[in-house]
Homo-oligomer: A and B are copies of this chain.
Amino acid sequence: MIIDIHGHYTTEPQAVHLFRDKQLAGLADPARRPTSTDLGISDEALVKSVEPQLKFQKERGSDLTIFSPRASGMAHHVGTEAVSQQWTTISNDLIHRICTLLPDNFVGVGQLPQHPGAPIKNCIPELERIVNELGFVGVNVNPDPSGGHWSGPPITDKYWYPIYEKLCELQAPAMIHVSSSCNPNFHATGAHYINGDTTAFMQLIQGNLFKDFPTLKFVIPHGGGAVPFHWGRYRGLCQDMKKPPLAEYLLGNVFFDTCVYHLPGIELLTKVIPTDNVLFASEMVGAVKGIDPQTGHYYDDTKRYIDQVKALGEADRYKIFEGNARRVYPRLDALLTKRGHPGKKA
């Protein structure tokens, strides 16, 4: 089974955007608020909206996508905490409906109703709802709910501890994924996303978070930002800071996905990062939509790159495509086992 652990719902029906417009217009003029949270989207329309993803799964040879709301759509910095809560509920419910309609293709991961300055514990009810009621297997945590101003505390700060406690209790990993940027310095997918990944990893080196949460698991998307390319720098900084060796210090808890859109990048990632810490992902349909004229294939068809890495043996490929995902997302493993896909011993 080929599990793509990183897909966002980037092909929402227009009704979703119309609702969001009304919701935000309502901040300025309460008369424009949406009158209902029922978006009026039929099951047929939902299934139709994910046809691009289904087509790519089939063409590229992946089976199951861990599916979450559009990352840039979370926009925790926009509006109020109440707006974030309403928007989060609606966004997560849409994911749930798609996963229910197409259970062989999609398993859900949710967003949280974060808001700059609001206590993170306010996100716990939604986290419990999506995991316990909607069957989601993980959650996206935004390390910068200010949207590119980075005005909140680092992810190792005690501010975040209530959500980490709940994640450990629920056996749910978090993908550390920023949302859109309202800072003109940071292009969303070209700078803010990658910087968010790099920044989060360095915060984990500085802090000692997994001493307090030994079972907490973080997935750092986009191949870990700049981290694998600068693995020597991070090993060296860790050493200068008198921490344990980097791999020993963090790689029991931190994992990287394969959203790196060219072969040399995937080669580096799989050479530098232990196979146990690399999870297949493409973020399709996502950040980069085009076809690479150098290969004739989509940039984000990352499976092709992994298939070309000669140094990976069969056992490595099993881990990257399935085994690691089942280990990092225990609720996914349980779900698949229950459905008659027990997986192999890693």
Chain A contact residues, CB within 8 Å of chain B: 143-144, 148-150, 152-154, 183-187, 189-191, 194-195, 198-199, 202-203, 205-206, 222-223, 225-226, 228-237, 239-240, 245, 260-262, 264-265, 267-268, 271-272, 287-290, 292-293, 299-300
Q: 13 A-B contacts, Cβ less than 8 Å apart?
A: A144-B185, A153-B184, A154-B184, A185-B203, A189-B233, A190-B202, A191-B198, A198-B198, A228-B229, A230-B261, A231-B265, A236-B287, A245-B293
Copies in the complex: 2
Residue of B nearest to A236 (CB): B288
Q: Is the CB of B264 within 8 A of A272?
A: yes
**Across-interface contacts of A245 in B (CB, < 8 A):** 293
Cβ–Cβ contact A237 & B184, under 8 A: no
In the bound complex, CA of A46 to CA of B186 (Å): 40
With a CB–CB cut-off of 8 A, which chain B residues contact A231? 262, 264-265
A236 to B262, CA, bound (A): 10
The 7 closest A-B pairs by CB, nearest first: A232-B262, A232-B261, A236-B288, A226-B226, A229-B229, A190-B202, A236-B299
Q: Quote the shortest CB–CB distance from A68 to chain B (angstroms).
A: 20
* Residues in chain B near residue A203, CB distance under 8 A: 185, 187, 191
Smallest distance from the beta carbon of A77 to chain B beta carbons, Å? 14
Minimal Cβ-Cβ distance residue in B for A295: B232
In the assembly, what is the distance between CA of A312 and CA of B293, in Å? 25
Q: Looking at the complex, which one of B143, B194, B205 makes contact with A190 (CB distance below 8 Å)?
A: B205
Q: Smallest CB-CB separation from A190: which chain B residue?
A: B202
Among A222, A236, A261, residue most surrounded by chain B Cβ atoms (within 10 Å)? A236
Q: Could you say which residues of chain B place their CB within 8 Å of the CB of A235? A: 261-262, 292, 299
A231 → B minimal CB distance (Å):
6
**Is B233 within 8 A of A288, CB to CB?**
yes
- Contact A288–B240 (Cβ < 8 Å): yes
Q: Are A190 and B234 in contact (CB under 8 A)?
A: yes
Which of A190, A191, A261 has the largest count of B CB atoms less than 10 A from its CB?
A190
Residue of B nearest to A234 (CB): B190
Select from chain B the residue with minimum beta-carbon distance to A152. B185
User: Which residues of the other chain, B, contact A206 by a CB distance below 8 angstroms?
Assistant: 187, 190
Known: A191-B202, A230-B265, A236-B261. 16 other contacts (CB 8 A): A148-B150, A149-B149, A150-B186, A153-B185, A187-B202, A187-B237, A189-B233, A190-B206, A190-B234, A194-B230, A222-B233, A226-B229, A229-B260, A233-B260, A236-B288, A240-B289
CA gap between A185 and B223 in the complex, in Å: 20
Give bound CA distance, A206 to B190, whole Å. 10
The complex places the Cα of A199 from the Cα of B228 at a distance, in Å, of 18
**Once bound together, how far apart are the Cα atoms of A186 and B148, in whole Å?**
12
Min C-beta distance of A288 to chain B, whole Å: 3
